[in-house]
Amino acid sequence: MGTAFRRFEESLRAECARAGRERSELTLVAVSKTVPLTAMLEAFALGQRHYGESRLQDALPKLTEMPKGTVWHFVGRLQSNKARAVAETFDIVHSLTNERQLEEIGKAGRCIDGLVQVNIAGESSKDGIPATMLDKVLGMVQQCPSVRCRGLTVIAPYSPDPEQVRWVFREAARMAADNGLPWLSMGMSGDWRVALQEGATHLRVGSALFGER
């Protein structure tokens, strides 16, 4: 894992240089679902601090074992009946979409960072609100005292050619800029370079760091 991590970090720094961006502008979220704790601890020893999990029940054992200083990102579908527990456990939620989630998060007794997930391409297989609902949902999140509204999350359609989904990332960047939102969570193992070029601030990378699972 150490070799893969170092190789990816070198690629990330090189891509930042090509795009005229600083490495410090990017938060690398290591998507660790199904990844064993040993691999996560190895990544932590190499300097990785941000980890993304998509299932609360799978993440709980890891949360108690990872060292202090780990930052936990919830990157999966946020079920309303689990939103309170997620907010009690995670630092950042990338998948806000509705008022019921916010009501449950408010019961957690703490304030978390949140991003609204937008389904720009309109894929039925992906979560997220349609772009036409953004103003409404952003307004709800911004008024929720338990959430610091940081930005948007976007997952592009799969394509063997990432250039084919550049428009999704570009549209996400426009939406974020129009609404004064500083964070853009977009880009995964197959398309992170294009996402970075279009303004991503948070990359959610799993297989490129930990290998295929």
Kindly give the confidence (pLDDT) of every residue in the chain, 213 residues in length, as a single tens digit, with 9 standing for 90 and above. Answer: 678 899 999 999 999 999 999 999 999 999 999 899 999 999 999 999 999 999 999 999 999 999 999 999 999 999 999 999 999 999 999 999 999 999 999 999 999 999 999 999 999 989 999 999 999 999 999 999 999 999 999 999 999 999 999 999 999 999 999 999 999 999 999 999 999 999 999 999 999 999 876
Task: Please give the C-alpha separations between residue 110 and each of 34, 88, 145, in angstroms, as whole numbers.
Answer: 28, 7, 9
Using the 8-state DSSP alphabet, how is residue 80 labeled?
Answer: H
Domain layout of the chain by residue ranges: 2-210
- pTM of model > 0.75: yes
**Tokens 């949360």 — which residue?**
63
Range list of H helices, the chain: 2-19, 37-45, 56-65, 80-89, 99-105, 134-143, 166-178, 192-197, 207-210
Alpha-carbon span 213 to 206, nearest angstrom: 9
Distance between CA atoms of 34 and 98, rounded to whole angstroms? 27
The CATH architecture to which 2-210 belongs is: Alpha-Beta Barrel (3.20)
